Structures are given as C-alpha cells and as structure tokens.
Amino acid sequence: MTNATYGKLTAGLIGAWFIVSFTTSALHGFNGNPSRPPLAVGLAVVIPIALFLLWFAISKEFRLFVLGLNPRTLTLIHTWRMVGFTFLVLATYGILPSFFALPAGWGDIAIGATAPFAALMLANPSRRGLFVLWQALGILDLLLAVGLGTAARLIEPQGITTNAMSVLPMSLIPTFAVPLLLILHIICIAQARQWPVQSYSGIRGQIPSPVTR
C-alpha cells in the first residue's frame, strides 16, 4: 500500500475507534461495579495500544509509513492536553478524587503547555535526548493517571469514586484519547531512535524521514 492509502486507512480506523468508544459509552458499556476496579476502561486503554504495536512489529510497510510521519505535528497534537484543567475542576466539586485528579490534571497541563516548545525546538536530531525525555514524561503522565484511576477503589475504598470517567463525555478520555496519545508518544520515540547521530543547527520545516524508502 502507498502512504496515501495507509493515511486514509489509519484515519478511517481512528474514526471507527472514536465511534465505537462513543457508542459504548452512550450505552453505558464502560459502567462497572463501583466497588471494583474499572476493568472495561482498562481494557479500552490496553487493547488499541497492543494492536498498534503488533501491526507496527509485523508490517514493514506500516512501520515505514509511521516512521515517515512528521514528529512535530504528532507532538503538537498534545497541546490539547491543556484541557486537563477539567480534572482540577471536577476534583474541586468532589466529582473526582483529588489523589487522582490533581496529578492527572496538572500533568496534562504541563505536557500540553510545553508541547509547542517540544515540537518546534526539540524535534530535531541535535536535541534527540531532550525530545525523547519529553515524550517519556508524557507517557509517564498518562500511565500515572491510568494507574491511579484504575486503583482508586483500592486506594480509598470509602472515598470519592472515579465513576465520572466511565460516562460521557469524560469516558472518551481514557477509552480514546489516552491510548491514542500514548501511541503518538511511542511513534515519536521510535522516530527519534532512527535519527542520525550528529548535530544540526537551524533546521527548518519538516524533518525528513530517517528511513530509506
């Protein structure tokens, strides 16, 4: 398949993924027993990432397509994580537990606020180490939020639940946004590992793909 074909296929799969996530949420498919960890939400996070990694590993054409994407564009997408302030608001009103909402919210705000800097200043071979570090911190933020959200009932059995994360519109964050953003971080790190080990200055525009086509 050509890059254009892969682009259309990927866009279609992401669109279908969003529809499935939205529909399942609307039908209360992610609602579980409040006294137990949200297994359905956890699976919604893990399965898309596992499928991506499998496809990336077994298909050379797909791997070339992914590694040829613009890392600056992929990094700029994380700017929308500034909406993490929503977690802070929900914690203030007692809708989400503070031990989950505060680190998740402030972590997202920090990543979202620095995404333009990472995209424009770090996404080049001469700053590969810092670029990978920023991507790793973005992954850590997401994993911390997922971990705290999943273990909420174990951490505070009688406290405020994270049920708000299993219903619309908040359910779209763990079931769609989080795994998608994790995949983008993984792609950027994979791309950075392919960059030539040498310094460049004054790089402008899109970084050429390091993979020989």
Determine contact, residues 22/172, Cβ cutoff 8 Å. yes
- On the 0-12 / 13-18 / 19+ scale of CB atoms within 10 A, 134 is buried
pLDDT for the residue 178: 97
Q: Which two structure tokens, joined as six digits, stand for 211?
A: 């993979």
Flag whether 209 is in a domain: no
pLDDT for the residue 206: 47
Flag whether 147 is in a domain: yes
Instruction: Provide the pLDDT confidence category of residue 151 given band limits of 50, 70 and 90.
Output: confident
User: What digits encode the pLDDT tens for the residues 76-126?
Assistant: 999 999 999 999 999 999 999 999 999 999 999 999 999 999 999 999 999
Q: How many domains is the chain built from? A: 1
Question: Please, what is the Cα angle at 157 between 156 and 159, to 5 degrees?
Answer: 60
pLDDT for the residue 209: 47
Evaluated on CA atoms 76, 80, 81, 85, the torsion sign reads positive
Share of the chain above pLDDT 70, in %: 90
Flag whether 7 is in a domain: yes
Nearby residues of 43 by Cβ (< 8 Å), 6 or more positions away? none
Flag whether 69 is in a domain: yes
Instruction: Provide the pLDDT confidence category of residue 34 given band limits of 50, 70 and 90.
Output: low
Q: Judge if pTM exceeds 0.95.
A: no
Determine contact, residues 67/209, Cβ cutoff 8 Å. yes
Instruction: Provide the pLDDT confidence category of residue 155 given band limits of 50, 70 and 90.
Output: confident
User: b/e string for 51-89 if b means 16 or more Cβ within 10 A?
Assistant: ebeeebeeeeebeebbbebbbbebbbebbebeebebbbe
pLDDT for the residue 198: 56
Flag whether 200 is in a domain: no
Residue 84 sits in which domain range? 3-194
pLDDT for the residue 201: 43
Flag whether 203 is in a domain: no
Instruction: Provide the pLDDT confidence category of residue 35 given band limits of 50, 70 and 90.
Output: low
